[in-house]
Structure 1
Amino acid sequence: MLVRRWLDTAGITDPVLRECYTLCVRRSLTERSGLGWLVTLGAPPPRRAACAAVGILILEADERVDTGQPEARLQRFNEWTDAWYSALETGTSSDPVLHAAAHACNTAVVRPSRALMEECFTALRRDAEFTEFATYEDWLPWARGSTGASAVWIMSMWGALGESGASILRRYGELAQLVDCLADVSEDLGDGRLYLPLEDLDRFGVRRQDLEAGRWTAATAELIAFEVARITGGLPDLLESALQHPWLHRCASGLDELLRTLCEAVLAAGPLLLRHVAVPGTGPTVRTGLTMWRAALVS
């Protein structure tokens, strides 16, 4: 019912397009990380379906480099991005996600650039050809592309971000990617990947074999605390900048609360961080969602 109302508000009347958007919204609202429904419900009602479509497009690309036989991942990813650019150019696709996302991007007030899409896809493609990061400076371009460019792309469905808005979102993306690397460290190691900068492990004397074996040490605790402090230390200035943006200010407190909630979940996990993905409690996540949802209603 709500999806139909959002599509009506957006002026989308074509039956096939409505069906494609509905599929994207439903997938976004049930996406396993819980971020999909924040992205969707946090958007202004007329733009919720568009945000969901772009979000699922990127998620589909990400899944192709994270799942399936490793030797086939890059090919699957390239086939998906090729199909995307074809859909974007022609405005149509037999795939419902591509069809809806193409419409969303082609009808956006400010169409996202090919360069922005390539920034996102280049970072995701790196996961299929994974090499570890020697330093934090090596890690940053990947994080800003993987999560930062994705955030800019999705939220460009809201309207014109401007240079300052894009910069703010890339910074949020960078911090969000770091906490994601911390929360998923056990899962990533199981897939043969270590995303944390190697210089940080060396700084605290953390041995990779201890991480892989799930052995929690005092050095590991210090490393995790250092990375979390790197995130939380950057949040106050970022929040202040976001509050000055013409419309990002409406969701700034929600983004701040989300990152703090994720950081708290990582710290609370302790030794279990090396055995399971750190997931925040339902209550804090719901509160964050309600903050963003209320902001969307007054936009």
Structure 2
Amino acid sequence: MVVAPATGLALPSLEQAYEACRQETAEWAKTFYLGTLLMPPAKRRAIWAIYVWCRRTDELMDSPEAQARPVAELAERLDAWELRTRGLFRGEVADGLDRVMVDTLERYPQPLQPYLDMIEGMRMDLTTTRYASFEQLYLYCYRVAGTVGLMTQEVMGVDPAYTSAPWSEAPDTSEAAVALGIANQLTNILRDVGEDRGRGRIYLPQEDLERFGYSEAELLAGTVNDAWRELMRFQVARARDWFASSEAGVRWLAPDARWPVWASLRLYRGILDVIEELNYDVFNHRAYVPTAGKLLDLPRSFVIAQAR
């Protein structure tokens, strides 16, 4: 029996804890989960562990229970979570989910900073409900999503063909990894505009609303008009540009990571296609790629992964 030093409580086995991560990923991130199933077992388990850490971080702010709490209490929770996260990098374990993160960090060493940056992104949600410019929104997107690319790039690995020669230097995949996270978060923002307004948050840059002549009052009312559609066309194009920027880095990845990353990239980008098919009415409809569409795209992603 393994006991957590911090609490003195018995911990589940690693297998049990990883299975809990698998189940949580499958329930809450269906498209992402499908991509992880294309990975070797060791890598997919590590990705599940990182996803669950990210989800636990997000839940500190966005769970229904958390939204009923005062800002000061949420800030204290984030402070405590930062201390606990720093402890993970020292091998400190309080529960089974901590245990899989420590195991993942031992197998795939990585820096602490992206994890601290994500927590800073959660802190932004404590006080920031509007973004004047895309530059301001970019910082938020980097912190809450671009960091995920940095967290997972050591798990993905680099193709040995680029590093096997004595004179070779491993390519830096960080920029592309961050770009994919930014693209995913921009897609989330467009998909979830209706939900976010219910929490009093508007992530679309204020400068863009002004540029297209669409008011905040109209957004809060869920008005779909020509100005809204033009605004959304612009936002969708911006998100696609970030997806395109991320593609360049996929070819550097280890062969067993290229297919799952291409699959996840293409499936998530498919949400933008659905938003267009809905004529940009994300207030009354949720944009998602049906399961059949996901399965049909997997062979295409495989072919692309082999060719690039």
1:118 is matched by which residue type in structure 2?
Answer: L
**What's 2:8 paired with?**
none
Give the alignment's TM-score, normalised by structure 1: 0.82
Q: 1:145-184, aligned counterparts within 5 Å?
A: 145-159=143-157, 164-184=172-192
Deviation (angstroms), 1:27: 1.2
**What's 1:121 paired with?**
119
1:206 corresponds to 2:204: no
Larger Rg: 2
Question: The residue matched to 1:121 in structure 2 has which SS?
Answer: helix
**What's 2:165 paired with?**
none
Q: 1:19-58, aligned counterparts within 5 Å?
A: 19-31=16-28, 33-38=29-34, 40-58=36-54
Q: Moved runs in structure 1, 4+ residues, more than 6 A?
A: 290-296
Q: 1:139 to 1:15 in 2, by over 3 A?
A: closer
Q: 1:1-299, aligned counterparts within 5 Å?
A: 16-31=13-28, 33-38=29-34, 40-67=36-63, 68=66, 69-71=68-70, 72-93=73-94, 95-108=95-108, 111-159=109-157, 164-236=172-244, 238-247=246-255, 249-270=258-279, 272-288=281-297
Once residues 35 and 82 of structure 2 are traced to their aligned partners in structure 1, the CA distance between those partners, rounded to angstroms, is: 22
Deviation (angstroms), 1:181: 0.3
Once residues 244 and 57 of structure 2 are traced to their aligned partners in structure 1, the CA distance between those partners, rounded to angstroms, is: 32
1:257 is matched by which residue type in structure 2?
Answer: R
Deviations 1:116-141 (A, max 9, x none): 22122212221233242111111112
Question: The residue matched to 1:277 in structure 2 has which SS?
Answer: coil
Contact 1:181 1:195 in 2 (8 A): yes
Higher helix share: 1
Deviations 1:209-240 (A, max 9, x none): 11111111110011011111122244445424
1:266 is matched by which residue type in structure 2?
Answer: I
Deviation (angstroms), 1:152: 2.1
Contact 1:64 1:73 in 2 (8 A): yes
Question: The residue matched to 1:270 in structure 2 has which SS?
Answer: coil
**Greater mean alpha carbon deviation, residues 220-229 or residues 77-86:** 77-86
Unaligned 5+ runs, structure 2:
1-10, 160-169
Deviation (angstroms), 1:271: 5.6
Contact 2:176 2:248 in 1 (8 A): no
Equivalenced residue count is 279
Once residues 237 and 100 of structure 2 are traced to their aligned partners in structure 1, the CA distance between those partners, rounded to angstroms, is: 39
2:175 is matched by which residue type in structure 1?
Answer: S
Give the alignment's TM-score, normalised by structure 2: 0.80
Unaligned 5+ runs, structure 1:
1-13
Question: Identity percentage over the alignment?
Answer: 22
Contact 2:266 2:301 in 1 (8 A): no
Contact 2:130 2:202 in 1 (8 A): yes
Q: What root-mean-square deviation, in Å, do the aligned CA atoms of Structure 1 and Structure 2 show? A: 2.8
Question: The residue matched to 2:13 in structure 1 has which SS?
Answer: helix
Once residues 81 and 43 of structure 2 are traced to their aligned partners in structure 1, the CA distance between those partners, rounded to angstroms, is: 24
1:18 is matched by which residue type in structure 2?
Answer: E
Deviation (angstroms), 1:70: 4.1
Once residues 144 and 185 of structure 2 are traced to their aligned partners in structure 1, the CA distance between those partners, rounded to angstroms, is: 8
